[in-house]
Chains A and B, each alone.
Chain A
Amino acid sequence: MLFKTLINHPADWMQGTGPHSEIVMTSRVRLARNLRGFPFPGYSQEHQRHDLLKLARPCVDALPEMKDGYSEDYAKLSKIRKQVLVERHLVSREHAARANGCAVVVDRKQNLSIMINEEDHFRIQGIRPGLNLRSAWQLVDKVDSELEAALPYAYDEKFGYLTACPTNLGTGMRASVMLHLPALALTDQINPVIKAVGKIGLAVRGLYGEGTEALGNLFQISNQHTLGEKESEIISQIEKVIERVISSERNARQKLVEDNPTMLSDQVGRAFAVLRYAHILTSKEALNLLSMLRLGADLDLVPNCDRSLLDMLLLEIQPAHLQLRAARELTPDERDVRRAEITRARLQSLSGPSNVSNNQPPPEAPSSDSTDE
């Protein structure tokens, strides 16, 4: 598959579907795996990374799941293309920063990606829409077993799967869920929630993982412990926590609708107005406003606004996606103009948001039923 084909096809997880999709964007599970007899990528020399790649990549390419997939050597990928893969969560930022002796293989539906020579020899990642960690785990578990049959894994009876960093030792599994929590943020309840989640040994991060800011009220929650617990136990624990966070967000949304309908309508209305008519949009502003518009769509305040339209737009306006489209590097100022251009075009078909409460007709038009549309 060509890079262009990959990028032109929206992945399953971008359709805005799946369990609890009004709050949970995606569920991801990644496994760290290494081969015996090779130093870890961070302590290897270039020729050793090439040797591993020569051995490993044909096995990954030959996986039945990767039939008609996308497979590329990093030496042949431009910086912008790598960054596009990061923005799509198919490779990590760390992996994209590397060049020689690395490769990525992605399945046709973009549910599965395998990074070769990241911090570990393999990072196998499954991604599903909504809250669906089990399905993501089943996918990577199956692929992992297939790879294991073809390659000599580094495994220790006591320590389990051996990884470059001891923080990944054991299962080598990181399960993470991407949440959209605008109501908790609007009602200043987000920090206590983050603290509570952190206390029980889960990590909370921003949109693009470790060390990134929580833009657009998007948060990733993932496990930190990988040793001493079974994969299914780790997943159950995260699911329990996520369900609690989901219900907090639901309550906060309900409370906003009941107690602060005017503020809510104002936020959603302003978000729509700026996104629909602005000519310069920074990434931060766009993400935060899209978050409000998505909240409005979830609460049926924006007629005919499909979540998948907003989720696709969220990707399209990322820096590398803009530059890929322009087929050249863009300065931040140029990006802000193009971001606004695309946003205006995508939102053209939408009619403006309605008011939250139907029993508050506009003062000068008491007979108007327009709020019911």
Chain B
Amino acid sequence: MKCDVCESEATVFLTQIINGQMTTVNLCDVCSKAKGVTDETGFGLAEAFLSQPAPSAESAASSCEACGFTAAQLKKIGRMGCPECYSAFRDGLDGLLKAMHKGTRHVGKTPRTITTEGHLRGSVSQLREELAHAVRDERYEDAAHLKSEIERLLEKPLESNP
């Protein structure tokens, strides 16, 4: 693959999320260093942000209370500041996530300590959705599995921490 800037062989392939749009840039070794893409110092990004003057009025209106990370920063670097940021920037995340993933709701492993009623309800509604898909696609064996899974969950609503 060729470098987008100078046509040499590209060795750095950068995928960025800017305003919810995924873009890919291919760069050669020299151009990636020139553009500051290859992050040789590691934490440079954070330090650069932290040394910046106080955020402007506009971005301060939408920032994470826990760590001070702003929506503008999120847009710029495509990463969150801390776990709490996911609550602070919850609105509007679905669009971004849809573009990146198969779904917008987690269906995988759950920490044992967090098997709560709320999560259970979430997983049942997710399973119902999957069931509808399975029936629509005429995958009846999957549908039967999903149905019994839903029944099993509803029968024992609060049994957690085995």
B82 touches A97 (CB 8 A): no
**Known A98-B42, A166-B17, A169-B97; contact A231-B83, beta-carbon cutoff 8 A:** no
A210 touches B13 (CB 8 A): yes
Alpha-carbon gap, A39 to B82, bound state (A): 4
Residues of B within 8 A of A141 (CB): 109
Return the CB mask of B92-135 against A: 1 if under 8 Å, else 0.
Answer: 01001100111111111111111010110010000000000000
A43 touches B106 (CB 8 A): no
Q: Confirm or deny: B79 has a beta carbon within 8 angstroms of a beta carbon on chain A.
A: yes
- CB B137 to nearest CB in A, in angstroms, measures 15
B78 touches A228 (CB 8 A): no
Q: Confirm or deny: B14 has a beta carbon within 8 angstroms of a beta carbon on chain A.
A: yes
Residues of A within 8 A of B122 (CB): 157-158
How many chain A residues sit at the interface, stated as a range, is 35 or more
Residues of B within 8 A of A145 (CB): 112
Which of these, A153, A161, A225, contacts B102 with CB under 8 Å? A225
- CB B82 to nearest CB in A, in angstroms, measures 4
Q: Confirm or deny: A255 has a beta carbon within 8 angstroms of a beta carbon on chain B.
A: no
Instruction: Tell me if B's interface is mostly helix, strand, loop or mixed.
Output: loop
A166 touches B105 (CB 8 A): no
Instruction: Tell me if A's interface is mostly helix, strand, loop or mixed.
Output: loop
B102 touches A34 (CB 8 A): no
Return the CB mask of A212-233 against B: 1 if under 8 Å, else 0.
Answer: 1100000000001111111100
Alpha-carbon gap, A229 to B130, bound state (A): 11
A40 touches B82 (CB 8 A): yes
Residues of A within 8 A of B80 (CB): 40, 43, 162-166
- CB B72 to nearest CB in A, in angstroms, measures 14
B11 touches A212 (CB 8 A): yes
B contacts, CB < 8 Å to A: 9, 11-14, 17, 39-43, 45-46, 49-50, 67, 69, 78-83, 86-87, 93, 96-97, 100-114, 116, 118-119, 122
A-B contact list, 28 entries, CB within 8 Å: A34-B83, A35-B83, A40-B82, A40-B83, A97-B41, A98-B43, A148-B113, A153-B111, A155-B110, A156-B83, A157-B122, A160-B106, A160-B108, A162-B86, A166-B17, A166-B100, A167-B100, A169-B101, A171-B106, A210-B13, A211-B11, A211-B12, A213-B11, A225-B101, A228-B104, A229-B102, A229-B103, A231-B108
Closest 6 CB pairs of A and B: A228-B103, A160-B106, A154-B83, A228-B102, A227-B101, A98-B42
